[in-house]
Amino acid sequence: MSIKVIVAGFKGKMGSTAVNMVKGDQELELVALLDPFADEKEVDGVPVFTAKEALIGFEADVWVDFTMPKVAYENTRFALENGFAPVVGTTGFTEDQIAELIALSKEKGLGGLIAPNFAIGAILLMEFAAKASKYFPDLEIIELHHDKKKDAPSGTAVKTAELIREARSYKKQGAEDEEESIAGARGAEFDGFRIHSVRLPGLVAHQEVIFGAQGEGLTLRHDSYDRISFMSGVNLGIKEVVKRDQLVYGLEQLL
C-alpha cells in the first residue's frame, strides 16, 4: 500500500521539488496539492485545492508543508487535527509553537516531523558544531541564503544555536565595552554568541559555524547547492512519520 501524500506550497521552489520526489517513488502517491493562489483545478490528474479547509475528510496519510513561516503553524495544527501526519520543512516556528504541536500530536496519536533542515550534511554540521562548542565556547554562526527567503535567522541557524546552547556553558562573547556604531553590526545575540544572516541572489542554503580560541580557529561549513539535497530527508520523513505516534523536531530524531 502506498503512502498518500498532500503537498502544501506545491508551486514553490521546495514544494515543486518535493512533488517530483513523491512522483518518482512508487511507495508514495501524490493525492492532493494546495496553494491559495493556484488557478489550475488539477495537475496531471492530482486535484489542486486553494483552501486547506476543503481537505477536511480527505483521504491522505501525510501532509508535506513547504509554504511560508506565517502559515506554517496553522497548517501543521490543521494537519494534525485532520489525521494527516505532518512533514514540515517550512521554517519560522517558535519554541512554544513546537511544544504545542508535539503535545497535540500525542493527543491525536499521530507521527510528524518539523525539520528546519532536511539535508544530511546540515544535520551533521549541527551535531559537530554542538560538540565543538564544548571545547570552543567562542563562536559565531553565519547563515547564507537566497534573497527571496522571508525569515531570518534561518530555522537551521536557530536549531544549531539551540543545540549549542545545550552543549556549551553560557558565555557572553565579545568585549565588555563593545559598541555598535551601525545598529545590527554584531548580528543577533543568542545565549551570548552571535548569528549573522546573509541574503544574496545565487545562493541556495549555506551555513558556517566559526570557532576561535587562543592561537587557533575552526570553521565548519555546509552547502546545499541544489534543493535536491533536501529530498532524501523529506522522503525518509514521509516514510517514518506514518509509523510513529508523536511529532518530533529535527530530522536527526528519525535517523
Determine the Cα–Cα distance for residues 232 and 13; give it in Å rounded to an integer: 16
Q: Which is nearer to ligand NAP, 137 or 248 (CB)?
A: 248
Residue type, 228: I
Sequence-ordered alpha helix ranges (H) in 136-190:
155-167
Which part of the chain contacts ligand NAP (CB under 6 A), choosing from 10-18, 24-32, 94-102, 130-138? 10-18
Q: Which stretch binds ligand NAP (CB under 6 A): 32-40, 123-131, 189-197, 236-244?
A: 32-40
Contact yes or no for 165/181 (Cβ under 8 A): no
Per DSSP, 245 falls in state: S
Give least dist CB 229 to ligand NAP, A: 8
C-alpha 234/C-alpha 89 separation (Å) is 8
Q: Which residue has the cell 517514518?
A: 240
Where in 168-227 is the site for ligand NAP (CB under 6 A)? 205
Spell out the residues 6+ positions from residue 234 whose beta carbon is closer than 8 angstroms to its own: 18, 21, 64, 87, 89, 118
4 has which bridge partners?
29
- 91 makes contact with ligand NAP (CB under 6 A): yes
Residue 115 annotated as binding site:
yes
Of residues 133 and 197, the one with the C-beta less far from ligand NAP = 197
Q: Which of 3, 4, 5, 12 binds ligand NAP (CB under 6 A)?
A: 12
Q: Per CB under 6 A, does 24 bind ligand NAP?
A: no
Identify the residue among 86, 116, 153, 250 touching ligand NAP (CB under 6 A).
116
* Residue 30 identity: L
Q: Are 116 and 98 in contact (CB under 8 A)?
A: no
Beta carbon of residue 9, minimum distance to ligand NAP (angstroms, whole number): 3
- Tell me: is residue 116 an annotated ligand-binding position: yes
Report in angstroms how near the CB of residue 176 gets to ligand NAP at its nearest: 36
Catalytic residues: 145, 149
# residues near ligand NAP by CB under 6 A: 26
Grid coordinates standing for 84? 494527516
Reported in sequence order, the residue ranges of 15-61 that DSSP labels E, i.e. its strands, are 28-34, 42-43, 46-49
Interacting positions 220-249 with ligand NAP (CB under 6 A): 230
Q: Does 115 bind ligand NAP (CB under 6 A)?
A: yes
H or E stretch at 65:
strand 62-65
Site for ligand NAP in 118-157 (CB under 6 A): 118, 149
Distance from C-alpha of 37 to C-alpha of 148, rounded to nearest angstrom: 18
Q: How far is the CB of 34 from ligand NAP (least distance, A)?
A: 5
Annotated binding-site residue? 106: no
Please select the residue that binds ligand NAP; options are 19, 30, 32, 67, rule is CB under 6 A: 67
Nearest to 14 by CA among 205, 199, 247, 197: 205
Binding residue ranges for NADP(+): 41
Binding region for ligand NAP (CB under 6 A): 8-9, 11-15, 34-37, 66-69, 71, 89-91, 115-118, 149, 205, 230
